[in-house]
Amino acid sequence: MAIGFQVTYDAADPGKLAEFWALALGYQVQPPPPGFDSWEAFAESAGIPRERWGDFSAVVDPDGNGPRLFFHRVPEGKTAKNRVHLDVNASAPEPHTEQGWERVLAHVRRLTEAGATMVGEVNEPAGRCMVMRDPEGNEFCVQ
């Protein structure tokens, strides 16, 4: 049996980064726990100091299939290339076709408008993708 997992990101602005990745993956910002109409109401009931309320955010797959992405505030900025990155499969259901590549380019445009930056295109026998950085500089690919 597989063991569930989440992907955790260090962030300067967890809420902003969560919004970006919700767009990038077709996810949603995780709603507050049952019985609470907001994360602020939950934080207050849990005794979390007001100045820490924006220190965390998460996004989830609305269909419940993909892993949760969790974002937490850290004081230091990103200093080196990621050793692990996400590949966003925008070309599905037709990878390796012109229609699939058009979907990749359209998604790259949306992500650029949302604060991502382009690094370059990779076109190898194993596949083609656009290498990007999210608004805080984390590398990822759109394929």
CATH classification code of 86-142: 3.10.180.10
pLDDT, mean of residues 64-79 = 94
In the CATH hierarchy, which fold is given to the domain comprising 6-73?
A: 3.30.720
Amino acid at 115: G
Which pLDDT score is estimated for 20? 98
Segments of the chain assigned to CATH 3.30.720: 6-73
Segments of the chain assigned to CATH 3.10.180.10: 86-142
Cβ within 8 Å of residue 87, ≥6 positions away: 129, 140, 141, 142, 143
What is the C-alpha R_g of the chain? 17
Q: What are the pLDDT digits (tens) for 79-137?
A: 888 889 999 999 999 898 999 999 999 999 999 999 999 999 999 888 899 999 999 99
Two tokens, residue 52: 């820490």
Which pLDDT score is estimated for 15? 97
Which pLDDT score is estimated for 125? 85
Specify the residue for token string 């726990």.
33
* Statement: residue 69 has pLDDT above 90: yes
